[in-house]
Amino acid sequence: MIQNNVLLEKTLDFSVRVVRSYQYLIKEKHEDVMSRQLLRSATSIGANAREAVYGTSKQDFIAKLHIALKETSETEYWLILLQRTAYLSDRQAESLLSDCLAIKKILISTLNTCKESST
């Protein structure tokens, strides 16, 4: 189930991009507080998605994906804030936001499918 899992691949790739953005923000922009928050929330998305795959029950799976979805929303917030405060350029932020939105759509779709199959 881990191999060829689109959600896990996208979240890992996104985490790598955010880690690189964090390094840029620290070194080039000397911004520590918001970038650390971004790093935490963005990397948590993939960690929770991966935990969901190994969940002990369907309810555990759904709970972990809900946490990942919440972290996605928080990540969007930090990206928008970093963009509005000019720490990230529009191009940088929009690229990351696009990836974040794609992950959000997958999470919502997966959660909806799980809920439908439960009824």
Amino acid at 39: L
Mean pLDDT of 90-98: 98
Furthest-apart CA atoms within the chain: distance in Å: 51
Amino acid at 19: V
Tokens 């997966």 correspond to what residue? 110
pLDDT at 3 over 60: no
Structural domain includes residue 39: yes
pLDDT (tens digit, 9 = 90+) per residue, 45-90? 999 999 999 989 999 999 999 999 999 999 999 999 999 999 999 9
Instruction: Identify whether the C-beta of residue 106 lies closer than 8 Å to the C-beta of residue 10.
Output: yes
Mean pLDDT of 33-56: 96
Structural domain includes residue 47: yes
Structural domain includes residue 85: yes
Q: What pLDDT score does 116 carry?
A: 87
Provide the residue range defining the domain that includes 59. 6-111
Tokens 């930090």 correspond to what residue? 78
Nearest CA-CA partner of 43 in 80, 6, 68, 73? 68
Q: What is the CATH number of the domain that holds 92?
A: 1.20.1440.60
pLDDT at 1 over 80: no
Nearest CA-CA partner of 79 in 89, 66, 65, 64? 89
Model pTM above 0.85: yes
The number of domains in the chain is 1
Structural domain includes residue 29: yes
DSSP string, 58-79: HHHHHHHHHHHHHHHHHHHHHH
